[in-house]
A and B are shown apart, each in its own frame.
Chain A
């Protein structure tokens, strides 16, 4: 009876050790889950962002007939000492992305003459997450002769 008990304990111990070893082997084989980004969807987001900027830079502004909407919004922001942001820009962008998708974005502009990148919207840069697509549009300011690059940074939320 005593010998049987000892045998059972040995089997228990072997089983326990086997379980631990197998779990270590299994844990070691777990690879980091690859980012679940579908290339198709990020391309679609890129096209949406490109199209939004292109439309803004194609439609003429109602406030200044010489400028496109994008040119006008940028000019009114950069030329104003108080840096007044025109909410029509974000209204348009919010409408450009379908309501079925949730995205967040930052808008930057780069002044090629003084080589400075400035955050245009929002006041404080939102923390980017996951796959970030960047769409850009060159804007020439005919009043100051500066060459700007408007960068729209979009990501899924």
Chain B
């Protein structure tokens, strides 16, 4: 009876090594699996807002056209210089607020109200476009 017990104990001891390896392998795969999963989960719902993919001149041209259009439509048929300045300032404020939402700084100054000569400035990060242009206003 005692010999049988010893034999069984020896059998168990022999198998325990294999069990240890199986356990280690199981732990190993669990750790690698958990790490891979957590690395993957970390990226879920990462939002990347794409920056501009076109030149700033594209934005400048749109801005200039739109500003011209808005200025032209806002003025009365025979606008005084005071009215021109007032509307111009209000439009610059509105346009710059919109552009600022997209990370672009915009400013404009009405240099000559009679000829609608404007100093336009637009910049984003390291790109800056600045120039004096004459707006095409039919008033």
Contact in complex: A12, B21 (CB < 8 Å): yes
- Which residues of chain B from 72 to 118 have a CB within 8 Å of any chain A CB? 73-74, 91, 94-95, 97-98, 101-102
| Residue numbers in A under 8 Å from B8 (CB-CB) | none
By size class, the interface of chain A is 35 or more
Contact of A132 among B14, B47, B91, B95 (CB under 8 A): B47
B133 at the interface (CB under 8 A from A): no
Q: Determine if A131 and B50 form an interchain contact, defined as CB atoms under 8 angstroms apart.
A: yes
Are A5 and B47 in contact, CB atoms less than 8 angstroms apart?
Answer: no
User: Would B48 and A115 count as touching, CB distance under 8 A?
Assistant: no
In the complex, how many angstroms separate the beta carbon of B26 from the nearest chain A beta carbon? 10
User: B70 interface residue, CB < 8 Å from A?
Assistant: yes
B20 in the interface (beta carbon within 8 A): yes
Check if B14 sits within 8 Å of A138, measured CB to CB. no
In the complex, A137→B28 CA distance in Å?
A: 54
Given A17-B24, A27-B31, CB of A46 within 8 Å of CB of B36 = no
**Would you call A131 and B66 a contact (CB within 8 A)?**
no
**Chain A residue with the shortest CB-CB distance to B97:** A112
For window 1-50 of A, CB contacts with B under 8 Å fall at 5, 8-9, 11-13, 15-17, 19-20, 22-24, 26-28, 30-35, 37, 42-43, 45-47, 50
Contact B101–A42 (Cβ < 8 Å): no
A132 shortest CB reach to chain B, Å: 6
Complex partner residue of B21 from A15, A132, A139, CB under 8 angstroms: A15
A20-B31, A133-B49 known, 13 other contacts, Cβ within 8 Å: A11-B17, A13-B20, A19-B21, A23-B32, A26-B35, A43-B50, A45-B50, A130-B45, A131-B47, A131-B48, A131-B50, A138-B98, A142-B73
> Which residues from chain B sit less than 8 Å from chain A, CB to CB?
10, 13-14, 16-18, 20-21, 23-25, 27-29, 31-32, 34-36, 39-40, 42-43, 45-50, 52-54, 62-63, 66, 69-70, 73-74, 91, 94-95, 97-98, 101-102
